[in-house]
Structure 1
Amino acid sequence: MAAFEYKALTERGKEEKGILEADSSRQARQILRDRGLSPLSVVVTRDSGDSETSNPISEFFKPSLSVSERALLTRQLSTLIAAGLPVEEALLAVSKQSENVKTQLMMSTVRSKVMEGFSLANSFAEYPKAFPDLYRATVAAGESAGHLDLVLNRLADFTESQQESRAKIQQAMVYPIILFTLTVSILAGLLGYVVPDIVKVFADTGQELPGLTIMIIAASEFVTDFGLMGIVLLIAVVYGFNRTLQVPRFRLAYDRRLLHLPLVAKMSRGLNTAQFASTLSILSRSGVPLVDALKIAGEVVSNTWLREKIGEATVKVSEGSSLSVALEQSGYFPPMMLYMISSGEASGELDDMLSRVSHHMQQDVELLMGVLLSLFGPLMLIIMGGAVFTIVMAILLPIMNLNQLVV
């Protein structure tokens, strides 16, 4: 049974859109007529050969879900399956519950694959951008263990916590970004428009200008003559830098350097290790074997150098080494994290220890970021105030010298 996207006219002539399931487009049209609708178009959303004939271009255009949408969908599925509904009925209920046509389409397609005999995890693979490897591996582990509802509930908790942490960082960045933008705009306005008008007055007097005033005039002329060119050059540099980072060996060297810079190293290491520990915890709790969980959790880490070290640790664990020893040999994981993992391995509570490590590392990162952002605001005010004071003094000094000459 396939999913069809349709457009039809009601008895009152109003156009209606939606998704339904049928064995063929002919049957889909008949279903619409039985509902009292006049079908305008019926298009299959997926056929049985899509998985085999998929290509990178078609994969690129497949829909995705935001973190909040995926968390809500997962929570609904967990609740329905825990209530005793079969998976296909739970998927149908979630599809009808959603007001987003894109989500309805995805759930209908996933349900079609489930009814064809595929597992839920394999059905989710139809939309890799909406349901990433971590998500599908966890669902597969829940299906094999027979605790799909519990695993989905954990997945929803994990997704919501990740979204909450990301939202906190984004909210904390709003004020500094606004303040920085205002600072740059005010300085550009003063140097580009105010100072040139005053320079004309001083030029008519023919007096010798103080050094500070000459410096501000030079800065003003530079902004006026080369400001636009400077913006274009800055954009070109940023674009070129981002393109360079797409080259694997440059990205690897850049990420390795980040892990040795003051403050930046602690921030980058904290974010990546927290994400790694959190992902490894949810996978391990769901019954995924440790080696497989390490492979998936390593792919979640954004720092490529750290990802490479996790790959090396994964090989050592597969060869019989303990997780704590394998991670310690990389030299990039915090001692607190290593001690807690070692304790978890010894006590048989590795899942709980990984969860605690993730929470602890996330708290450290949020605390450090909060301190840095709280310092950034006053620093911007000092810079803006100092710059405005310098410009004002550069304007007042010639006026004061002129008054002394008159006296």
Structure 2
Amino acid sequence: MAHFCYEVKDPQGNRVIGRANGPSHMDVVRELSKVGYEVIRVWQKPPYLPGTRIWTYYRRASLSELSLLTRELAMFFASGIGLVRGLECCEEQGFSKHVSQAAADVAQGLHEGRSLSQALALRPDVFPPLYVKLVHAGEISGSLDQVLFRLSDYVEKELLLSRKVQSALAYPALIFAICLLLTGFLVYFLFPLFISFFNGLDIQLPAITQSLLAVTTFMRQPWVILLLLLSPIALSKVYDMISRTDSAVEWFSNFLFEIPVYGQLKKAVVLSRFCSTLEILLNAGIPQFTALNVTAEAMDNMACTRSLKAIALRIRDEGDSLAEAVRRDPFYPQMLSSLIMVGEEVGNMPRVLNLAYKTYEMDVETTVGRMTVLLEPLILFVMGVVVGYVLLAVFLPIYSMLDGL
């Protein structure tokens, strides 16, 4: 039996959140419907273990799969084949088991009389709220095929953006990992071969060799090795604890923007995601207040999420325009509020947001290049210092012994 969480409405219209066990999503949905609940969404909740949130993250559908699935659905719907048949075909298209099961659950929901947006909402682990809101807008306006194509383009933009960030971090991360492995090899395997040799020498060992001997002896203690082996689990536990505290998550979100170079990259990514997400929502005819709240939920940064929700409240409660509300928030640059003001004046906000997205996308590319240029020599320098330190510690006593002959 798998563990699930659910959000439903009872017969009196009250929202109820709870947990249930069942073989699959649709079995839980059927059981909840039998007792008179209106099911809003159901999502899988694995039993708590250290690293649960990391595990859940990797259980989500990849952007490449979501983009391909959306484009295929749009083509099936536009060609008149129908969504149910399209979803059944998608089950056989070589998607991961997780996504194929989600497609089957959505098809089953359509068979049971739900709309596409209602069926998608049952699997928030694959289809995020932004996705469901846009599909719902397409159903109301009668332009579902156009919305699905726009959604596919949007997901492809997100995929391209994430790949640019990954490319910026991949090479430095690889060099750093090699540096750690090389250091571990030298400390645990190579240098211990020389320990007995050095102990047999009747010479005063250099200070650098004595320091490396002390480090190697310490690192080879059983309790230190056990601590290193258990450290990933401990770090995962700490991550889970922090991620459950909103104040800690918000502090860390703000801290990321303060890191030199990387903070600029993170901010450019957040701003580009804000522009592209709000653009597609407004293009679909979703009201501005709702669009801002959905955009806030689509952000992967708690500080930005709260900022956007505050902007939405200023527009609703204080009567600010979007440009004025954005201008009052110190997180957003002056250029963005000026562009939004132009969009409000000409009455074409989606087009202006698309231009802003392209601007911040270029900022991402520029910052990625700067990060690569700065980090590569820095990491190579650190690696050179570590390797040079070990080599000097090994060969200086040998040279001293040869000089004494």
1:155 matched to 2:151? The reply is: yes
1:300 matched to 2:298? The reply is: yes
Helix, strand or coil at the partner of 1:268: helix
1:185 to 181, 190, 195: 181
Map 1:68-147 onto structure 2 (within 5 A).
68-83=64-79, 85=80, 89-99=82-92, 106-107=102-103, 109-111=105-107, 113-114=109-110, 117-147=113-143
Structure 2 letter corresponding to 1:228: I
Residue 229 of structure 1: CA displacement?
A: 4.1
Structure 2 letter corresponding to 1:254: F
**Deviation string for 1:23-77 (max 9, x for gaps)?**
xxxxxxxxxxxxxxxxxxxx99557554537699864379964322222222122
1:376 matched to 2:372? The reply is: no
Moved more, 300-309 or 394-403: 394-403
Question: Contact 2:25/2:43 (CA < 8 Å) preserved in 1?
Answer: no
Moved more, 98-107 or 233-242: 98-107
2:243 to 228, 242, 245: 245
Residue 202 of structure 2 is matched in structure 1 by 206
Structure 1 letter corresponding to 2:280: I
Map 1:209-288 onto structure 2 (within 5 A).
209-225=205-221, 227-232=224-229, 234-235=231-232, 238-242=235-239, 243-288=241-286
In structure 2, C-alpha distance between the alignment counterparts of 1:305 and 1:164, rounded to whole Å = 23
In structure 2, C-alpha distance between the alignment counterparts of 1:104 and 1:200, rounded to whole Å = 59
In structure 2, C-alpha distance between the alignment counterparts of 1:258 and 1:170, rounded to whole Å = 16
Residue 288 of structure 1: CA displacement?
A: 0.5
In structure 1, C-alpha distance between the alignment counterparts of 2:100 and 2:376, rounded to whole Å = 44
Helix, strand or coil at the partner of 1:129: coil
Helix, strand or coil at the partner of 1:205: coil
Q: Which has the higher contact order (CA 8 A, sep 6+)?
A: 2
Question: Contact 1:142/1:286 (CA < 8 Å) preserved in 2?
Answer: yes
Number of aligned residue pairs: 361
In structure 2, C-alpha distance between the alignment counterparts of 1:273 and 1:145, rounded to whole Å = 28
Residue 314 of structure 1 is matched in structure 2 by 312
In structure 2, C-alpha distance between the alignment counterparts of 1:104 and 1:260, rounded to whole Å = 40
In structure 1, C-alpha distance between the alignment counterparts of 2:335 and 2:105, rounded to whole Å = 45
Structure 1 letter corresponding to 2:297: E
TM-score (norm 2): 0.79
Question: Identity over the aligned pairs, expressed in percent?
Answer: 25
TM-score (norm 1): 0.79
Residue 125 of structure 1: CA displacement?
A: 1.7
In structure 2, C-alpha distance between the alignment counterparts of 1:353 and 1:113, rounded to whole Å = 38
Structure 2 letter corresponding to 1:393: L
In structure 2, C-alpha distance between the alignment counterparts of 1:136 and 1:199, rounded to whole Å = 64
Distance change in 2, residues 1:375/1:201 (3 Å):
same
Residue 45 of structure 2 is matched in structure 1 by 60
In structure 2, C-alpha distance between the alignment counterparts of 1:64 and 1:397, rounded to whole Å = 54
In structure 1, C-alpha distance between the alignment counterparts of 2:105 and 2:284, rounded to whole Å = 25
Residue 311 of structure 1: CA displacement?
A: 1.0
Helix, strand or coil at the partner of 1:259: helix
In structure 1, C-alpha distance between the alignment counterparts of 2:45 and 2:229, rounded to whole Å = 30
Helix, strand or coil at the partner of 1:269: helix
Question: Contact 1:121/1:137 (CA < 8 Å) preserved in 2?
Answer: yes
Distance change in 2, residues 1:299/1:56 (3 Å):
closer
Distance change in 2, residues 1:356/1:227 (3 Å):
farther
Structure 1 letter corresponding to 2:185: G
In structure 1, C-alpha distance between the alignment counterparts of 2:25 and 2:295, rounded to whole Å = 36
Moved more, 342-351 or 288-297: 342-351
Distance change in 2, residues 1:305/1:401 (3 Å):
same
**Deviation string for 1:73-108 (max 9, x for gaps)?**
22122223333x27xx23313413541576665445
In structure 2, C-alpha distance between the alignment counterparts of 1:56 and 1:113, rounded to whole Å = 12
Residue 20 of structure 1 is matched in structure 2 by none
Residue 305 of structure 1: CA displacement?
A: 1.9
- What's the C-alpha RMSD, in Å, of the aligned pairs? 3.0
In structure 2, C-alpha distance between the alignment counterparts of 1:73 and 1:366, rounded to whole Å = 27
1:400 matched to 2:396? The reply is: no
